[in-house]
Amino acid sequence: MTKLGGFLITFEGNDGSGKSSIIERTNSWLMGEGLSTLCLREPGGTQIGEQIRQVIHYVRNIDMSRMTEFLLYSASRAQLVEEKIYSALEKGLIVMTDRFVDSSIAYQGYGREVPLDFISYVNSAVTQGIVPDLTLLLDIDPDIGIERRMNSRGEINRMDLQNQAYYRKVHQGYIELAKKDTTGRWRVVDTNKPLEDVWDEVKNQVEAALLASGYLERRGKSSERIV
């Protein structure tokens, strides 16, 4: 869908769904197959984006308005697309991002009730027409996700201060996005199971998408399974 020669995979899901670990494994696997990759995160991924991330996460910014929050995420995304994603896709890389446009729809749209049509308008502008080729929703019960997140890190950021009702709305947003998908890019992976089972499903979904898109053939790889 990127039409730039590369392949864009976005990893979505509530906090605590294990995106970071899965992205690391996916990257190691693809690099082991001789494929060129680039891993990024939102907010962040660039010097400017990382500075924006600090503002968003700073615990004392508790009075940040929902619109300010959304526009800060969008500013980070605009810089990431301009500085990293677009050029990497032009070079034919497999780009993997820990969150992308759908996070704004779920977190700021469903979670904060920022108007969805406004989010769509801004997302369209900042992404320069780029649409993910594959979106993996790492689905987890939001209550379990919160517990995992709080147990896995010592530092608390502003987003960790949200109540459970907020994260349930975010989760519902993701489920609705996947159900309403008309592009065929969404795949829902149940993460309420052992990590190895989650990884096997992710690997199968990524492999199938790369084969179906013709990406492997364009990069001189066999159209057979890439182990």
Binding residues for ATP: 13-20
Cα distance between residue 26 and residue 96, in whole Å:
9
Short-list 33, 35, 226, 8, CA closest to 136:
8
Cα distance between residue 157 and residue 61, in whole Å:
10
Is beta strand 134-139 parallel, antiparallel or unpaired with respect to 7-12? parallel
Whether the CB-CB separation of 17 and 98 falls below 8 Å is answered with no
Whether the CB-CB separation of 8 and 46 falls below 8 Å is answered with no
Q: List residues forming the annotated binding site.
A: 13-20
Q: Which residues contact 18 (CB under 8 A, 6 or more apart)?
A: 138, 140, 148, 191, 195, 198
Whether the CB-CB separation of 127 and 72 falls below 8 Å is answered with no
Short-list 196, 167, 182, 215, CA closest to 18:
196
Is the preceding omega at residue 132 within 30 degrees of 0, hence cis? no
